[in-house]
């Protein structure tokens, strides 16, 4: 396949449109890697390109979680604002720009759930107080909502390839055999990474989850 | 029978089916089941459909960019017609009812549990993501046979790249003798001292093949080089070329679209 294409490349005249330092003005269609490189470098144009290319997917996730409306729009807005202001934390070799944006979107969705849960508790507490001393005990934290925020943060700390492997299992619902296929890693390696990552998440929940839920 | 291996228990926590002997042991062993349950709390927190890979594109309303620009102070503006989702083919985005925070564990641990059934959808999405999201141009509907004119094998809608507003439609037609032509309808203003040239680019926009010269407001039929793989050069690009005798791309593109077959 590649050879054939290379032959094609020789038969027809092929030249570089793009100088090495990036596309000239007026040719605004760089690839994802170029957008990512310029994004990391703080080039404002790259934020607009990233929005053109990825805002639909990000907003699609937000709408899936919250339905169309202000909550979803807040999430999408926050994703791009956080990505831009936090671009120093963007590591292109860890995850390309669209994957990084999707990861931020997960955080924002989990944060929104947690905020709603705090509002629920505040409302319930106010209600209990209004109903006098015989009211129920203090409203409980939804532990799953809190776990999500904690564990998404822990995922960020995990290096590759472990992180990519567990993300394929969690977010793309692949089996360990499919992950081995997709990544080209041996089955045994995939299995042992999965085991260690689940242990790591369990440890994080035991250490910090208990404190949060107390 | 000995206990299941730690790796098998981790897979069980992900709700992968285990080999029969392991599954049988797990069903009857409290210690192994407790281990699965303890590993499963993290799975249940994160492996929920709301956090899964994106499945569909929904164009955010314009107010979202306005808020981003306000918060970041940037002065650039994305081209609305290119914001992914805005130009997507008529594939209605799945709009679920607003979801409450998903509940905790989906099922008791241990035992044989089927994997959640959103998997196929996600796999399809994953493939789409690998191919690349938000190409910024929508393919027009494809016909099949086109009489003795030949067979339409791919098409692209060309979207403007700037405020010159050039648009168009390109189709690749294969004739009976195997030759292929790019049929192009270009809606663009006349260029006073230059001309429009059509190119096929690869997706990285790093290699290109010249296809021919066209006029704005014109229909043209341009022969494609024999053997060119339009999968490798799927981007139709229209540039403004000055009459300077330089055969290379001017870098001044006015419209682009991606061929889809
Ligand atoms: Zn056992």
Residues B127-166: tens digit of each pLDDT: 333 333 333 333 333 333 344 568 888 888 887 777 778 8
Write the residue in B14, B74, B118 that is nearest to A169 by C-beta: B14
How far is the C-alpha of B7 from the C-alpha of B22, rounded, in Å? 11
Structure tokens at B35: 């281990």
Residues of chain B with pLDDT under 50: 86-147
Inter-axis angle of helices A143-157 and B30-46, nearest 10: 80
* Separation of CA B168 and ligand 1 centre (Å): 66
Contact A152, A107 (CB under 8 A): yes
How far is the C-alpha of B202 from the C-alpha of B209, rounded, in Å? 9
* Separation of CA A204 and ligand 1 centre (Å): 24
Q: Which domains does chain B have, with CATH numbers?
A: 6-105 (no CATH), 147-258 (2.60.40)
pLDDT score for A193: 97
How far is the C-alpha of B19 from the C-alpha of A191, rounded, in Å? 14
Q: Which residues of A touch B68 (CB under 8 A)?
A: 47, 51, 77, 80-81, 84
Q: Which residues of A touch B205 (CB under 8 A)?
A: 17-18, 23, 27, 29-31
User: Does residue A161 have a cis bond before it (omega within 30 degrees)?
Assistant: yes
Q: How many contacts (CB atoms, under 8 Å) link A and B?
A: 272
Query: Dihedral through CA B19, CA B24, CA B30, CA B34, nearest 10?
Result: 30
Question: What is the nearest CA distance from A139 to chain B, expressed in angstroms?
Answer: 17
Give me the residues paired with residue B157 across strands: B169
pLDDT score for B244: 77
Q: For residue A148, give Cα distances in angstroms to A100, A122, B46, B48, B260.
A: 18, 20, 6, 10, 39
In chain A, the residue whose alpha carbon lies closest to the alpha carbon of B61 is A73
Give me the tens of pLDDT residue by residue for chain A, a chain 214 residues long: 333 333 333 332 323 333 334 444 444 568 889 999 999 999 999 999 999 999 999 999 999 999 999 999 999 999 999 999 999 999 888 789 999 999 999 999 999 999 999 888 888 888 877 776 555 566 677 888 999 999 999 998 998 899 999 999 999 999 999 999 999 999 999 999 999 999 999 999 998 875 555 4
Three-class SS string for chain B? CCCCCHHHHHHHHCCCCCCHHHHHHHHHCHHHHHHHHHHHHHHHHHCCHHHCCCCCCCCCCHHHHHHHHHHHCCCCCCCHHHCCCCCCCCCCCCCCCCCCCCCCCCCCCCCCCCCCCCHHHHHHHHHHHHHCCCCCCCCCCCCCEECECCEEEEEEEEEECCCCCCEEEEEEEECCCCCEEEEEEEECCCCCCEEEEEEEECCCCCCEEEEEEECCCEEEEEECCCCCCCCCCCEEEEEEEECCCCCCCCCCEEEEEECEC
Write the residue in A30, A56, A110 that is nearest to B134 by C-beta: A56
pLDDT score for B233: 82
| pTM as predicted | 0.58
How far is the C-alpha of B46 from the C-alpha of B42, rounded, in Å? 6
In chain B, the residue whose alpha carbon lies closest to the alpha carbon of A193 is B7
Pairwise CB contact (< 8 Å): B83 & A52:
yes
* Residue ranges with CB less than 5 Å from ion ligand 1: B 3, 29, 31-32
The answer to whether ipTM exceeds 0.90 is no
Pairwise CB contact (< 8 Å): B63 & A18:
no
How far is the C-alpha of A34 from the C-alpha of A51, rounded, in Å? 14
Residue to test with chain A: of B32, B64, B127, most A Cβ within 10 A: B64
Q: Which residues of B touch A61 (CB under 8 A)?
A: 50, 54
Q: Which domains does chain A have, with CATH numbers?
A: 31-140 (1.10.1740.10), 141-214 (1.10.10.10)
Give me the residues paired with residue B242 across strands: B194
Burial classification of residue B178, based on how many CB atoms lie within 10 Å of its CB (0-12 exposed, 13-18 middle, 19 or more buried): exposed
How far is the C-alpha of A34 from the C-alpha of A47, rounded, in Å? 12
Residue to test with chain A: of B12, B16, B18, B46, most A Cβ within 10 A: B46
Listed by number, the residues of chain A in 158-197 with a beta carbon closer than 8 Å to a beta carbon of chain B are 169-176, 191-192, 194-195
How far is the C-alpha of A165 from the C-alpha of A187, rounded, in Å? 11
What do you get for the CA distance between the two ends of chain A, in Å? 60
Contact B77, B50 (CB under 8 A): no
Question: What is the nearest CA distance from A132 to chain B, expressed in angstroms?
Answer: 29
Listed by number, the residues of chain A in 113-132 with a beta carbon closer than 8 Å to a beta carbon of chain B are 113, 116-117
Pairwise CB contact (< 8 Å): B206 & A173:
no
């Amino acid at each position: 396949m590649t050879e054939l294409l290379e032959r094609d490349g020789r038969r027809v005249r092929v030249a570089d449109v793009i100088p090495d330092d990036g596309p000239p003005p007026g040719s605004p269609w760089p690839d994802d890697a170029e957008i990512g490189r310029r994004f990391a470098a703080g080039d404002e144009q790259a934020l607009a390109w990233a929005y053109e290319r990825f805002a639909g997917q990000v907003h699609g996730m937000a709408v899936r979680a919250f339905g169309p409306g202000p909550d979803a729009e807040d999430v999408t807005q926050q994703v791009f604002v956080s990505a831009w202001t936090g671009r120093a934390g963007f590591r292109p070799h860890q995850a390309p720009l669209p994957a990084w944006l999707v990861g931020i979107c997960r955080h924002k969705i989990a944060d929104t759930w947690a905020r709603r849960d705090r509002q629920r508790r505040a409302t319930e507490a106010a209600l209990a107080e209004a109903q006098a001393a015989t009211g129920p005990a203090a409203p409980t934290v939804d532990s799953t909502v809190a776990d999500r925020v904690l564990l998404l943060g822990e995922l960020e700390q995990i290096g590759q390839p472990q992180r990519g492997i567990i993300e394929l299992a969690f977010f793309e619902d692949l089996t360990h055999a499919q992950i081995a296929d997709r990544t080209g890693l041996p089955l045994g390696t995939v299995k042992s990474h999965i085991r260690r990552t689940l242990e790591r998440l369990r440890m994080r929940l035991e250490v910090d989850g208990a404190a949060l839920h107390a | 029978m000995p206990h299941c291996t730690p790796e098998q228990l981790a897979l069980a926590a992900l709700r992968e089916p285990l080999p029969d002997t392991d599954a049988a042991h797990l069903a009857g062993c409290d210690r192994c089941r407790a281990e699965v349950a303890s590993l499963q709390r993290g799975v249940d927190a994160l492996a929920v459909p709301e956090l899964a890979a994106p499945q569909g594109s929904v164009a955010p309303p314009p107010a979202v960019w306005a808020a981003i620009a306000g918060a970041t102070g940037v002065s650039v503006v994305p081209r609305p017609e290119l914001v992914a989702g805005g130009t997507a083919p008529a594939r209605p985005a799945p709009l679920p009812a607003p979801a409450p925070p998903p509940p905790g564990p989906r099922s008791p641990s241990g035992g044989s549990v089927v994997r959640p059934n959103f998997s196929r959808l996600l796999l399809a999405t994953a493939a789409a993501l690998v191919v690349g999201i938000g190409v910024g141009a929508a393919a027009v509907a494809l016909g099949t046979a086109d009489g003795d004119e030949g067979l339409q094998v791919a098409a692209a809608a060309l979207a403007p790249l700037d405020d010159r507003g050039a648009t168009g439609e390109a189709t690749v037609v294969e004739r009976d003798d195997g030759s292929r032509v790019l049929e192009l309808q270009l809606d663009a203003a006349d260029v006073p001292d230059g001309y429009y040239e059509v190119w096929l680019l690869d997706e990285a926009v790093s290699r290109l093949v010249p296809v021919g010269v066209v006029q704005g407001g014109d229909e043209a039929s341009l022969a494609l080089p024999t053997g060119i793989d339009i999968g490798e050069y799927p981007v139709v690009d229209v540039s403004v070329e000055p009459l300077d005798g330089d055969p290379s791309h001017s870098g001044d593109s006015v419209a682009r679209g991606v061929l889809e077959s």
